[in-house]
Structure 1
Amino acid sequence: MNQSALIRPDWTPATIAMMVLGFVVFWPLGLAMLAYIIFGERLKTFKKDANDTVDGVFSSFKRGGRNRYRPSFGTGNVAFDDWRDAELARLDEERRKLDEMREQFDSYVRELRRAKDQDDFDRFMRERNSSGSVPGFPAN
């Protein structure tokens, strides 16, 4: 740790002053600063332990992407396992097709919105140019 830092979890003049100022301004701030001074060194190991625990819990969800629902073990019946793998592959292909269709529909809707906005803008410009002022606003 960089011991030249102004605010570090240690009894330095800066941290003591901040703690006293915290108690004067709003007592929970002073209490938080006191907790940081006392327990601040333990925060690094606490954070590392918490991250390691969460990584361990969620590592099983990371292994297959779309295949995350597939069990990693066989049933012992080769015919059933083959059928299950084929069905899951078919479902993955259907999911991919549905995702492609959704992306195509989203781009279609975006294009419709862009065309509608362009029509609205063109109508506005035609009305503006024909009347010499903006509709709904008084002329200067």
Structure 2
Amino acid sequence: MSSRALIRPAWTPATIALMVGGFFVFWPLGLAVLAYILWGERLDAFKRDVNTSTDRLFGGLKRSGFGGTAFGASNTGNVAFDDWRDAELKRLDDERRKLNEAAAEFEAHARELRRAKDQEEFDRFMKDRQAREKTRNDARNDGPIVDGHPA
């Protein structure tokens, strides 16, 4: 005698009756039962895949440093190693801070260089514009005047 579930993802009289009843009561319920009949065998594999993926994700997060003590490192039980690790992490943090300060200084320098270059280009443009205006005005003044306007 086998003990198989009455409602399982297969075409059994019980699942067919549930599907038809679901369509009578509320049509999305009937569709849900039909989907279970057709793809229910895949649910176990899907659940297993989702569990494996989430375990891998959260395991990676735990290894990368989320959780635990400072910097994500837990005590190993070896005091000498923990002290050395803490000193190295502090040294690396100081190096990172120095690098960030140097990067900020360089950005300020580059920004000042761009501003100076832009100012130089603007001054050159204004000088050329004034020269063009002067040339244009001189050309107007040199021509004949008809009815009070340059020709």
Max Rg structure:
2
Higher relative contact order (Cα pairs below 8 Å, separated by 6+ residues): 1
Band the TM-score falls in, shorter-chain normalisation: 0.3 to 0.5
